[in-house]
Structure 1
Amino acid sequence: MTNPPNLTQTPLVEQWHAGGFLVSEARGHRSRDVGTIGGAAKVYPGTVLGLQTGGVAAAWPGNPEQVNNNTGNGTIALASPPIVAGAQLGMYTLIATDATHFAVTDPFGNAVGTATAGTAFSNQIALTITAGATAFVAGDEFSVQVEAIAGAYVPLNPSASDGSQTAAGIAFGFTDATMNDVPGTVVTRECEVNGSELLWPSGATAAQIAAATSQLTALGIITR
């Protein structure tokens, strides 16, 4: 019996790169979608993603420059989800007209209603302002930045309840969403992937990975 020949060439070592986890995918770009990537993190190719529903927004006391010069020391809290029908991307402002009422304007300066301290407000954005020990005065201000309307893909979080606990796709390339949400490509359907190159959340259990793998299978993303 003849022995097989010895290899005389250096084996190819493939570096980590966009789409490197794919074994096969549908023709064209049917397996991929462009979406919003969030999670305040660097997201690498092969990261299993969940989809936060209801959009993404951030709120703080003060003006759009995040300078808090309010006299009143009350607080603002976004609802879950923080945005509702008609929301627009950009900065909403809420300016006090007296101790308990705030005029709300959209990113284009259009009035969208009056928020009353202690009462839930819901018109494009959903929130509640709570009065503090020191009363608000006219001119006190809150700002709400709407960063994504249709939801954002974030690294899978099995313990969450905002949609990101369910596997909804896989990051195709590298995106840096550390400071803010960014556009990115997500593999969402009809493909085969190399399971050894998928990135799961730290501490994910075997049962959680198995459940998420089944969720990917339901999307037509088959793990090999």
Structure 2
Amino acid sequence: MTVKNESNYLGDFLKYEAEALYCREPVTVLAGAGAARDLTSGMVLGRITKGAATGAAVAGNTGNGTITASPTVGAAAKPGVYQVVCIEPLTNSGKFSVEDPDGVVIGIATVGVQFSTHLTFTIADGATDFAAGDAFTITVAAGSGKVKQIDFAATDGGDKAYGVLCFDVTAPDGVDAKGTAIVNGPAVASDKGLTWPAGATQPQKDAAIAQLKLAGIKVRQGA
């Protein structure tokens, strides 16, 4: 006998919303990669807010060392321009202050040593030593804004809860799809109606639920 699993319905997770026109937003579901991407009603979504990073020397540097051309973007990275400025020139070395796009110093990078806060990169020494004020920029591109099931291992912003999908959506391989999600409150969702990635831990779920709460979406236990 063939067994068919019934899909979730909106009412399985959504117990209250103040106004659909305010609480719901159209979303673009990221295209499938190698296969269709199937998202179901009640699935907690992440949103791609960050793209790739590009490192470059600022014109006019005294030193001719280089920086990693394509730094690895970490989960804590922010879209925008990071400033990497030499504050302590040394023979065949040097130390650089690293500021995030908000102007906050996140660490000190040393020439020849991998730096791994927000971004992973290395400044390489050149034939001419760096001078104070020599600088690099690392630009983290804005993300596509597309959504997918929350992925706690992602570093593109998709590890943070953005909302909850209202209705089933299938994005074919290589083709984006349109959907609707609850992304604002006041709204109340049942924890029993939410769908999480396989292997999600309770602390990960708790963190995502706290992020939904910041958007006004309260997840009620056992509702």
2:13 match = 21
Distance 2:50 2:171 in 1: 18
Q: Which residue of structure 1 lines up, in the alignment, with residue 166 of structure 2?
A: 172
Unaligned stretches of 5+ residues in structure 2: 1-5, 53-69, 74-78, 80-142
Would you say the 8 A contact 1:39–1:155 is kept in 2? no
CA positional deviation for 1:38 = 1.7
Matching residue of 1:203 = 199
Partner AA of 2:176 in structure 1: D
| Aligned mates of 1:159, 1:153 — CA distance in 2 | 15
- 1:160 pairs with one of 154, 158, 166: 154
Deviation at 1:205, TM superposition (A): 0.6
Matched, 1:188 2:180: no
Mapped partners of 2:27, 2:160: distance in 1: 16
Among 211, 216, 219, which residue is 1:215 paired with?
A: 211
Moved more, 43-52 or 30-39: 30-39
In 2, Cα distance between equivalents of 1:184 and 1:197: 18
Give the 3 Å change call, closer, same or farther, for CA 15–200 of structure 1 in structure 2.
closer
1:39 deviation in Å?
5.7
TM-score (norm 1): 0.50
Equivalences for residues 118-129 of structure 1 within 5 A: none
Deviation track 1:2-27 (CA, whole Å, cap 9, x = no partner) reads: xxxxxxxxxxxx97324531000012
For the residue of structure 2 that corresponds to 1:196, the secondary structure is helix
Structure 2 Cα separation of the partners of residues 55 and 43 of structure 1 = 22
Paired-residue identity, %: 31
For the residues of structure 2 that align with 1:175 and 1:194, how far apart are their CA atoms? 20
Contact 1:55/1:151, CA 8 A, preserved across alignment: no
CA distance in 1, matches of 2:31, 2:20: 29
- Structure 1: gaps (5+ residues): 1-13, 57-76, 85-148
- Opposite residue 167 of structure 1, the aligned amino acid is A
Check conservation: 2:50, 2:157, Cα contact below 8 A.
Answer: no
* 1:159 maps to amino acid: A
Provide closer, same or farther for how the CA distance between residues 15 and 176 of structure 1 changes in structure 2, counting only shifts above 3 A: closer
For the pair shown, the structure with the greater C-alpha radius of gyration is 1
Separation in 2, partners of 1:211, 1:151? 21
